[in-house]
Amino acid sequence: MASLTASLRTSLVRLLGASSLSSLAAAALVACVAAGCGSTAGGGVATTDAGRPGPGLAEQSTAAPIELFSWWARIGESDALGALTREHQRHYPNDVIINATAELSGLARSTLRTRMQRNEPPDTFQANVGKDLMQWVLVNGLDDRETKLSPLDDVIDDVATWRRTMPKVLIDEVSYDGKLYAVPSNIHRLNTLFYNKKIFETYGLTEPKTIDDLKSMAKKLDGTGVRLIAVGSREPWTLALIAFECMLVAREGPEFYDNYFRGNVRADDPRILADLNAMLDLLSLANDDHAQLSWLQALELVVRGKAALTIMGDWARVSFNARGMKYGQDYAEMPFPQSEDTFVYTSDTFPLPIQAKNRAGAIRLLKSMGSAEGQRVMNAAKGALSARTDVAPENDPMFMSKHALLQRGPLVLALSGLVPPRFASDLGGALSEMSEQRDLEPVVQTLRSRYALLK
């Protein structure tokens, strides 16, 4: 039976196309039917023993699966959606969750956009807090009259608890006209870097306190065959992360960063030009093939000792662990130099599409995502802080430090939340050209021609 299940799933995905979320949903459903939906799985189709008691059984579905789409994937032993599934099924044991994933966020967003435009959404999906989410509410660019998402206030009683236990700045970014449109599942810090401790010890490197320290560190590695910084810019958002969410915040401060990307400064402000020049200098310390690598492949260079450090959001910690690296022994995390007291954040949020096929099931799943226990198990696997401040962080100095900073701020939103998707896409392409040509002009021209989109 197991081989039949695998065969059905594989055949259907090949028939319908691997990039289609509908094919993933159908394949998972066929596999579920073939297997009888009688076992638990962390990804793909998640099921459980229907005999296990739990609250809310009268509400649950016994047939229709719940399709969830994200770019979360199981990494080694870390499986955030699997952990959520198990917690959800303690309360709704008959629910079947289809976990349709895409490895890279760019592919996920592109596939989701196609489905949303065709009015064939998954039952819920991952979106970054801010404009990445709100594009589906403000579809007409003016108000929510053509929203593709349902407000949650009228269908989930727990919204009142979420408003009380989550940071107001976070709640504001998932709300419009007083209505909440998604469940924030976590909080990630973007302005961080990770380094290989053994490389640091071998070559006498210490944690950089300033951006200039990075240049001094690179000189110590001259002739060793080890690059200072590993970068993977196949998806150009990684260049934006380094240039703006890390370097601009460090060089000019969080207030300037926030004002600039809210459209309140000149597009070609001299501070932006100086930051872009500094970005080019920093890229000269990185691997030459960064345009061919993903951020995960860049991380692998640090694991293998081919590079000393990589600049990436704190979700990278899980990937280091999955590669056999022990935190504090083999690698470490630190804030990006000169930005120690600023928390550049994003949050993975999950909404309820108006045209969700299994609306009732999606509502149940969103309730689990927003619950204290759901957030605890998800984020223990995800390496993130809970969006709920009443869920304690892991007993780890770095998590506790970030949790304290989250309480006092300042918090500044990542670019995926600050800028419209069209602007982010154009800026990413221009940054790729800039890094390839070693010339600021593609980015400067893009900022000048697109800056009005931010106002």
What's the pLDDT tens digit per position in 188-231?
Answer: 999 999 999 999 999 999 999 999 999 999 999 999 999 999 99
Residue 123 has pLDDT above 50, yes or no: yes
Instruction: Work out the pLDDT band at 394, boundaries 50, 70, 90.
Output: confident
pLDDT confidence of residue 8: 34
The answer to whether residues 298 and 239 touch, using CB atoms and an 8 Å cutoff, is: no
CA atoms of 160 and 171, how far apart (whole Å): 11
The answer to whether residues 301 and 310 touch, using CB atoms and an 8 Å cutoff, is: yes
Instruction: Say how many C-beta atoms besides its own lie within 10 A of residue 448's C-beta.
Output: 12
Residue 39 has pLDDT above 90, yes or no: no
Q: Which residue has the tokens 């039949």?
A: 4
What sign does the CA torsion over 167, 152, 315, 75 have? positive
Tell whether pTM > 0.95. Answer: no
Sheet holding 411-413, edge to edge: 188-189, 343-346, 411-413
What sign does the CA torsion over 403, 296, 101, 346 have? positive
CA atoms of 405 and 56, how far apart (whole Å): 37
Q: How far is CA 235 from the centre of its chain?
A: 13
Of 41 and 448, more confident: 448
Instruction: Work out the pLDDT band at 30, boundaries 50, 70, 90.
Output: very low
Token pair belonging to 261: 């990307």
Going along the chain from its start, the domains and CATH numbers come out as 37-188+347-382 (3.40.190.10), 189-345+414-454 (3.40.190.10)
CA atoms of 174 and 366, how far apart (whole Å): 14
- Provide the percentage of residues in the chain whose pLDDT is more than 90: 79
Token pair belonging to 216: 């001094």
The answer to whether residues 282 and 214 touch, using CB atoms and an 8 Å cutoff, is: yes
Q: What is the mean pLDDT of the chain?
A: 87
What's the pLDDT tens digit per position in 266-321?
Answer: 999 999 999 999 999 999 999 999 999 999 999 999 999 999 999 999 999 999 99
**DSSP for 205-247, written as a single string:** ----SSHHHHHHHHHHTTTTT-EEEE---SSTHHHHIIIIIII
Q: What is the mean pLDDT of residues 144-148?
A: 97
- Provide the percentage of residues in the chain whose pLDDT is more than 70: 85
Q: Phi first, then psi: what are they for 217, rounded to 5°?
A: -65, -40
pLDDT confidence of residue 77: 63
The answer to whether residues 197 and 329 touch, using CB atoms and an 8 Å cutoff, is: yes
Token pair belonging to 452: 């009005």
Instruction: Work out the pLDDT band at 440, boundaries 50, 70, 90.
Output: very high
pLDDT confidence of residue 38: 32
CA atoms of 273 and 269, how far apart (whole Å): 7
Instruction: Work out the pLDDT band at 59, boundaries 50, 70, 90.
Output: very low
Residue 105 has pLDDT above 90, yes or no: no
> Which secondary structure element, helix H or strand E, spans residue 179, and what is its range?
strand 179-180
Q: What is the mean pLDDT of residues 49-72?
A: 59
> Which secondary structure element, helix H or strand E, spans residue 332, and what is its range?
strand 331-335
Instruction: Say how many C-beta atoms besides its own lie within 10 A of residue 22's C-beta.
Output: 16
Encode 70-138 in three state secondary structure: ECCCCECCECHHHHHHHHHHHHCCCCCEEEEECCCHHHHHHHHHHHHHCCCCCCEECEECCHHHHCCCC
CA atoms of 360 and 17, how far apart (whole Å): 28
Which one, of 60, 119, 76, lies nearest residue 356 by Cα? 119
Give the single-character DSSP code of 248: I
